[in-house]
Structure 1
């Protein structure tokens, strides 16, 4: 499927110029059939529907694994990233001297909130950053040494779109015995991510931004780490005998050991529709189109004298361009059906189904409201 053809699958695009995909992505119309089938199951209830729901969950999980280059059994799906990150954190012993968790100042708020909670168990949280929109990667690497247990970084910052060179980071962290946790919520679906090639240890992501889904998150765990990880605060689905409904004797052998209690299948079933469309286009084509769109935004913003916060270099930039403008601009644009988001900066996040003509129309409106 071409990038142009995918556009017809998203009804939202008929109502506005939608460029807030880094906040909440558009959902394809195929989700309507999933919702109707789900209601039919509820209104004619039989316990046997769980057979199909579990099959759908497994198929969605397998599709996610394929999308990020992960081997079978290394990906799990659950409600949100926060739960998964807390379970990762619960696997480790934070006794000195290797008790340091290195994070950055570009994290989504859930990340420092959870790591700081583990200070009560001995974790020493070290924040690396400049206080600005970009990350000093040299300083980050200098902060990772033999005292470092875990390094927790965003693949792309939610606030500026700045990316981290994961290949360089993972190699350095592993050289001193540290493990790397990557928050890819702001990159997966719009940037290539091959977890096996990167040799990364943990990757977290979710469906409701660039993945064109709703309300579900995923976790990848490097397979050779799984046998030694025993997360706390999980649930019966994490056990080795979960679907036998007998007491489990240990953890599931694969990444399901990080799941919780009874799953809510609807969000994964809906999200699978968007995932299948993205897989049909291919991540390389998605990334090329994204860069063409964000290049146009940066070019137009520069010509208009608007300050661009995101990195200009394509390899340092995720799927969003952030401009140093007040939140009021977002609302003035929305009055013209030009939709973006704001988190400290105005964030413009085009996706594969957006067009360059839409970018120009949006930038025309932006120039007008900022005169």
Structure 2
């Protein structure tokens, strides 16, 4: 049974007081909190199994390596990947998106090619492609949004051509909460031979996401937004693309063999996980994914939809004269992110006032 009050008991941070008031945490788009199961998994690793991975034959190293590989398998299951080696652990969503831009984009785009972005993109899915466009001579086209804050699909279709090589798009806007139809966009892209790179930072933690069903080529998301530790991100890539690309960052762990003249890269995902990885973070993320799968992502989405419907109703029926809401009101295309202003008040002042009541929100 999905009981939010029972679930809340799993999160130690909600036992604290903020200015002698119970914590009301509404800043999950920035980062989420961790259940005790995740905290315990990380603690247990450091106390019982701490060692580097793929570096030794002793018991601790073998055990740590096994746990690290199992973490890949858990995340592959969570997002519906075909194989665990389609899951690359990075440092965050930003880093994962840069890997795609630098490893694939820099080596596959040329002058005259086109990159399609939307104006609702986070900087992390915009700036890397602007950098690549400048380096390669590729052109960027921006897709607009409609008055209801949803993506303008007619504008999207008009921006796609035989020159389109990449469509980089968020599945859920980090500001508006708009949910984009990735499956439809992927079909449009693949018709002209373009790849689709999806920023899943806000979607993967809050709704069912199956990469096989969506047929996306790359998907990036972060651990810390889905109940896991900070300092860890995930890059999903179709096997054929991950095998094709060369690492943008190389070094320890990325090679099978190296001579003074030649480098033979390691198999995926190792060739894209340079250096000592965040092993404890991966184990913690796997535990977070298990926790969410036990709850059921359909249940998570349903509960958030109910909360969103409740808030939108209050905004319209009781607060319309005082609060301006930015974002879709149709629940099928709306996540749990609510962007608003209080009329006549600075947004930072509103956030500071809410903080005195123990309520955490994002301003800016």
Report the alpha carbon displacement of residue 271 of structure 1 after superposing the two structures with TM.
2.4
- 1:88-127 superposed matches below 5 A: 88-89=100-101, 90-91=103-104, 92-97=107-112, 99-118=113-132, 119-127=134-142
Does 2:238 correspond to 1:222? yes
1:1-371 aligned at under 5 Å gives the runs 2-4=2-4, 5-15=6-16, 16-40=23-47, 48=58, 49-72=60-83, 73-89=85-101, 90-91=103-104, 92-97=107-112, 99-118=113-132, 119-130=134-145, 133-240=149-256, 250-303=264-317, 304-305=319-320, 306-325=323-342, 326-343=347-364
Q: For residues 194-249 of structure 1, give each alpha carbon's deviation from its aligned partner in whole angstroms, at most 9, with x where no partner exists.
A: 1101111110111111344432100111233333333322443333469xxxx995
Cα distance change, pair 164–248 in 1 and its aligned pair in 2 (3 A): farther
SS in 1 for 2:265: coil
8 Å contact from structure 2 (residues 49, 64) kept in 1: no
Query: What's the offset of the Cα at 1:188?
Result: 0.5
Output the TM-score relative to the length of structure 1: 0.83
Q: Unpaired segments of 5 or more residues in structure 2?
A: 17-22
- Asked if the contact 1:84/1:258 (under 8 Å) is kept, the reply is no
2:19 matched residue in structure 1: none
The 3-state SS of whatever aligns with 1:342 is coil
Aligned length: 338
In the alignment, structure 1 segments of 5+ residues that lack a partner are 344-371
Name the SS for the 1:260 alignment partner. Answer: coil
Per the normalisation by structure 2, the TM-score is 0.84
Alpha-carbon spacing, 1:269–1:171, altered in 2? closer, same or farther (3 Å): same
